[in-house]
Amino acid sequence: MTTADAVETPAPRAGAREWIGLSVLALACLLYVMDLTVLHLAVPAISADLQPTSAQLLWIIDIYGFFVAGSLITMGTLGDRIGRRRLLMIGAAAFGAFSVLAAFSTSAEMLIVSRALLGIAGATLAPSTLSLIFHMFQDPKERTVAIGVWIGSFSGGGAIGPLLGGLMLEFFWWGSVFLLALPVMAALLLLGPRVLPEYRDPDAGRLDLLSAAMSVVAVLAAIYGLKEIAQDGLGALPVLVILAGLAVGVVWVRRQQSLADPMIDVRLFQVRSFNAALAVNFIAIFVAVGYFLYVAQYLQLVEGLSPLVAGLWSLPSAAGFIIGSQLAPHIVRWVRPGHLIAGGLATAALGLAMLTQVGPSGGLLMLVAASLVISLGLAPVFGLTTELIVGSAPPERVGAASGISETGSELGGALGIAILGTIGVAIYRGEIADRLPADVPAEAAADARDTLGRAVEIAGQLPDQLGATVLDTAREAFVHAMQLTSGIAAVVAVGLAVLAVVMLRSTGSPPPDAESAAESEPAGRMAPPEQVAHIAPTQFEGVEG
């Protein structure tokens, strides 16, 4: 049979089983993203109940992302070996169990451990879903629709997470946000074996357990050291921990070069466009996730909104992200990817600059408008850079490129919370320490300096006039921290826009018209869905070797 004959052979069409299976996979993806965003609105309640330190609060928020990032490549390789449906079922059961553990945590330490375990379980979901979709939908048109549903589920998770989280927090305790996972995981466990096919790679390489452990250790050691420096200042122990993490990372890279079945192919980093797109994607997500933490707390602790109302005010930003991500594949037919990425980053920088103008009172509309502009600007950046990362790799290394892309995205988001969050904490603590009234009891002053959530709680326990002064002081210190970190993020976004123009200027060129764009896509540009179908099956999967 010739190639032409093979192309003309009609592909089998999907039936009810496949479409039901797609809805199950979409729910899993939606939940995966929800768990990255739903916790933000619960931060004030967690601060009041568990009374974590500022460092513990940051760990509660971002350790999920760290362990997802550290485990993604490992889980992709494991799915190739034991079967992706089986891995999905194991991950779903574990995710449900650890969600219950997190919901009923009685201490900050218990919640941190629960979130870490959730991150490991969550890393089993992403490597399996997209590859199963491509196995289930053979017809190109149906596959395009299925991919659209899959992409929409990730965007929908970001939009629904704050809203459902706010609704739960309106009527229940903070742990209820974790119980949202239970019905989704139950549906996945019940329907998955019936509607999802099994798939495993017969040529999958051996999983190197030492490399898997080293990747997690290297990431967590470096971030732990940074957090300790931000919390307590420069010291010998955190510096040594950071250096140890970097040393483990170097050994890990060298080990990959010597293994017959490496977790990633480090030769990918010799591709210039791959490095540029990866750097832009990493830092863009760093900026996006880092600022969002301040927005969620501003809505509740500065504006005094209920969790439900705060979730509703978060919807315009989520809608902007969905709109921007859907428009990007159409705009890129006429605009070079590097220029569109730079334009999106410049737009995001404008929104971040608007955020620096939000004050401690009357700033709600400005904050919502700024968040909308940031979302519209960053949305095209994420999709385009991911496509460029994958498109920059030769066909035999597409799986490795996809694994690196998703790991970098997760790590960039977690680092955004860690670094921008710790900068904000340092600014907040420094300002409130200088401005608190002298007649505030020492213990209360120490609690108020720790987090804004604690300051709001302490203010309610003090005499009216003194409590109002503490509350105003804490809110002004927090807003100033938000303004300064947003300014830093804006500068980073501008610098990143320049990097995108310089490093990606020759990547792809827009065809003379839309019709030719549909027929010819140069390497390294955003391809239409039908062409993405030949690339995307390996996205979010580990390294194939």
pLDDT score of 508 more than 70: no
Question: Does 529 have pLDDT greater than 80?
Answer: no
Burial category of 335 from C-beta neighbours within 10 Å (exposed 0-12, middle 13-18, buried 19 and up): middle
For the cut 60, the answer to whether the pLDDT of residue 526 exceeds it is no
Q: Determine the average pLDDT of the residues in 75-99.
A: 83
Model confidence at 167: pLDDT above 60: yes
Q: In the 8-state DSSP scheme, what is residue 395?
A: G
Q: Where are the domains of the chain?
A: 15-204, 209-258, 271-422+490-532
More confident residue, 360 or 393: 360
* pLDDT higher than 70, residue 430: yes
For residue 101, what pLDDT is reported?
Answer: 92
What tens digit of pLDDT does each residue of 136-156 get? 777 756 765 666 566 667 766
As a whole number, mean pLDDT of residues 225-233 equals 65
pLDDT for res 353: 93
For residue 257, give Cα distances in angstroms to 218, 254, 262, 274, 436: 17, 5, 7, 18, 56
Task: Indicate whether 354 pLDDT > 90.
Answer: yes
Q: pLDDT band for position 366 (50/70/90)?
A: very high
Cα(533)–Cα(536) distance, integer angstroms: 6
Sequence-distant (6+) residues with CB within 8 A of 258 are none
Average of per-residue pLDDT values in the chain:
76
Lowest mean pLDDT among 162-176, 260-274, 329-343, 394-408: 394-408
In whole angstroms, give the CA distance from residue 308 to residue 104: 21
Alpha helices in 359-397 (DSSP H): 364-391
Angle (CA) 471-477-480 rounded to 5° is: 140
In the structure, what pLDDT confidence band is assigned to residue 4 with cuts at 50, 70 and 90? very low
Mean pLDDT of 341-346: 91
Where is pLDDT greater, at 339 or 390?
339
- Assess whether pLDDT exceeds 50 at residue 442: yes
User: Shortest CA distance to 370 belongs to which of 299, 419, 305?
Assistant: 299
Averaged pLDDT, 238-264: 85
CB distance 348 to 496 below 8 Å: no
Can you tell me the distance from the alpha carbon of 434 to that of 134, in angstroms, rounded to the nearest whole number?
59
Assess whether pLDDT exceeds 50 at residue 535: no
Q: The CATH number of 271-422+490-532 is which of 1.20.58.220, 1.20.1250.20, 3.10.20.70, 2.40.10.340?
A: 1.20.1250.20
Q: What's 15-204's CATH class?
A: mainly alpha
Query: CB neighbours of 443 closer than 8 A, spacing ≥ 6?
Result: none
3 state DSSP class of 202: coil
Residues ≥6 apart with Cβ < 8 Å to 212: 71, 73, 74, 263
31-40, 126-135, 335-344, 398-407 — most confident range: 335-344
Angle at 159 between CA 219 and CA 153, to 5 degrees: 75
The neighbour count for residue 372, using CB atoms within 10 Å, is 21
Burial letters 307-324, b for 16+ CB under 10 A, else e: bbebbbbbeebbebbbeb
> Residue 266: is its pLDDT beyond 50?
yes
pLDDT of 132 above 70: yes
Of 379 and 103, the structure prediction assigns the larger pLDDT to 103
What is the C-alpha separation between 493 and 502, in angstroms, rounded?
Answer: 14
Annotate 129-167 with b (16+ C-beta within 10 A) or e (fewer): bbbbbbbbbeeeebbeebbebbbbbbbbbbbbbbbbbbb
Least confident window among 44-48, 66-70, 268-272, 399-403: 399-403
Q: What is the average pLDDT across 209-219?
A: 83
CB atoms within 10 A of CB 55: 19
Percent of the chain surpassing pLDDT 70: 77
Residue listed under structure tokens 């969600």: 99
Contact criterion met (CB below 8 Å) for 67 and 215 = no
Q: On the CB side of 88, how many CA atoms lie within 13 Å of its CA? A: 37
> Half-sphere exposure (CA, 13 Å, Cβ side) for 287?
36
Residue 544 confidence class, pLDDT cut points 50, 70, 90: very low
How many residues appear in the chain? 545
Indicate the pTM of the whole model.
Answer: 0.69
pLDDT tens sequence across 297-333: 888 788 888 767 777 787 788 778 778 776 776 777 7
What pLDDT is recorded for position 306? 76
Residue with more model confidence, 513 or 423: 423
CB atoms within 10 A of CB 377: 26
Confidence of residue 6 (pLDDT cuts 50, 70, 90): very low
The pLDDT tens digits of the residues spanning 184-213 come to: 888 888 888 888 888 776 666 677 788 888
Distance from C-alpha of 319 to C-alpha of 325, rounded to nearest angstrom: 10
Lowest mean pLDDT among 123-137, 218-232, 321-335, 399-413: 399-413
Is the pLDDT assigned to residue 77 strictly greater than 60? yes
pLDDT score of 517 more than 50? no
Strand, coil or helix: 171 = helix
Considering 39-48, 108-117, 427-436, 511-520, the range whose residues carry the highest mean pLDDT is 108-117
Query: Residue 332: how many CB atoms within 10 A of its CB?
Result: 25
Query: In whole angstroms, what is the distance from residue 544 CA to residue 201 CA?
Result: 9
CB 511 within 8 A of CB 122: no
Longest dimension (CA), the chain: 88
Tell me: pLDDT of 530 over 60: no
